[in-house]
Amino acid sequence: MPLKVGVVGLAGIGNRHAQCHKEDPLAELVAVCDILPDRADQAAQKYGVRPYHSLQEMLAGEPDLDVVDVTTGGDENGSWHFSPVMLALEHRRNVLVEKPLSNDIAEARRMVARADEQGVYLGCNLNHYFTPPAELAKQRIQAGELGELRWCLMKMGFSGGEQGYHGPAQDPRYRDFPYFHAKAFLTHPFSVMRYLCGDMTHVQAFFGRPGFRQRAGDVLLSQTSIHTRFANDCTGYLLSTRGDTPVGMGGWWSIEVGGTRGTVCIENCIEKLTFWPEPGSGKEPAVTSTGITDFEQTFPRRLHAFLEDVGNHVERRRLRASGRDALAALEYTWAAMESHEQGGRLVLPHALPPLR
Ligand SMILES: NC(=O)c1ccc[n+]([C@@H]2O[C@H](COP(=O)([O-])OP(=O)(O)OC[C@H]3O[C@@H](n4cnc5c(N)ncnc54)[C@H](O)[C@@H]3O)[C@@H](O)[C@H]2O)c1
């Protein structure tokens, strides 16, 4: 039986989620909710579902709701997640929340702890690794085809440059927040790196911004250069930029993971995976092109996985892209910010809660 879903926050991303649920046989979209009544009403009409103007009303009006999908944004794209997520958890509903879990690490930790206490699923839209190339890369790693993982290089960025820059962001949710890019965005690359290489134990970072931003008085730290070490002794490097330079090789993001028996590289997120075997192994390099270039396809794939896991009652610790997984990415982000503030000092990320 499809899961009854209500979406909270009907701007661009909320509508994207609502459309995915509408088209997914595992979901029955029954309600939408936005504190801006027009947004809720328009979406309700579009999807043929009931509108609500507060989550409290939606929870009262939809006692059979299986999943509350929180797609609000807020300061640094994350300050409006905590209150609806906690309210839904208090009502013991399964929750899917957009990334980042929060723009406040203490809130993010509380959300994950509360879901655990309540015994419900908390998932996060870590959509970037719900792709054929990432899944295939993971399979090769798990099958031992890469041998011992030794290094991981990730490059991720919004394409841009000096001439297309029109000054600091004007939206009060982003303006005056130096860490907007780090807090709102690094969840994605960190979660892909962790998906392939495991937990990180050490982080060291330098953040910066180009001269054209500095001259315009833009406080945004739009470039992050981060060196990491993983629990399995693999080392990693993550470079991310926000419109400072044109994207180069590998498209808007690429990751390469090198092991003692083979190396894999994902190009342009969802587009292509290449595998290079160890020289002399008798194996040939293999290229898998998906024929997909549209990043938007990560949304239905990730949402479907959440519906599948909840519908199948998987053990909570086996939930794919869980709140805990999203918290790990935020802990690395906070460690990177701390390292940057201390001139690149080595920082050990805060421990994750135990897997129960
Ligand atoms: N996973 C991805 O690839 C991806 C891509 C882009 C954005 N995002 C994330 O999606 C989220 C939403 O982004 P957006 O740009 O669509 O959001 P937005 O901030 O423009 O809009 C959020 C909507 O939520 C509503 N809202 C806020 N608090 C509410 C509450 N308590 N109850 C009901 N409604 C409430 C607002 O009125 C607004 O309509 C952000 O967290 C962002 O980081 C994810």
- The one-character DSSP state at 294 is -
pLDDT surpasses 90 at 116: yes
Are residues 41 and 51 in contact, defined by beta-carbon separation less than 8 angstroms?
A: yes
Domains of the chain: 3-125+302-320 (3.40.50.720), 129-292+326-341 (3.30.360.10)
Give the per-residue pLDDT at 173. Answer: 93
Give the per-residue pLDDT at 301. Answer: 97
Ligand 1: atom nearest CA of 12 is 16
pLDDT digits (tens, 9 = 90+) for 178-188: 999 999 999 99
* Phi and psi angles of residue 318, each rounded to the nearest 5 degrees, phi first: -100, 5
Give the per-residue pLDDT at 356. Answer: 74
Residue 139: pLDDT band (50, 70, 90) is: very high
pLDDT digits (tens, 9 = 90+) for 169-206: 999 999 999 999 999 999 999 999 999 999 999 999 99
User: From the CA of 50, how far away is ligand 1's center (Å)?
Assistant: 19
Q: What's the pTM?
A: 0.97
Give the per-residue pLDDT at 117. Answer: 97
Residues in Cβ contact with 263 at an 8 Å cutoff, skipping those fewer than 6 apart: 146, 256, 257, 275, 276
In the chain, the percentage of residues whose pLDDT exceeds 90 is 97
Pocket lined around ligand 1, Cβ cut-off 6 Å: 8-14, 33-36, 39, 55, 71-73, 77-78, 80, 83-84, 98-99, 125, 127, 184
Residue nearest to atom 33 of ligand 1 (CA): 34
Give the per-residue pLDDT at 355. Answer: 84
pLDDT digits (tens, 9 = 90+) for 287-328: 999 998 889 999 999 999 999 999 999 999 999 999 999 999
Measured distance CA(289)–CA(119) in Å, rounded: 40
Mean pLDDT of 258-282: 97
Residue 230: pLDDT band (50, 70, 90) is: very high
User: From the CA of 68, how far away is ligand 1's center (Å)?
Assistant: 14
Measured distance CA(90)–CA(270) in Å, rounded: 36
Mean pLDDT of 152-181: 95
- Helices in 104-152 by DSSP H: which ranges? 105-118, 132-142
In the chain, the percentage of residues whose pLDDT exceeds 70 is 100
Give the per-residue pLDDT at 54. Answer: 98
Give the per-residue pLDDT at 271. Answer: 95
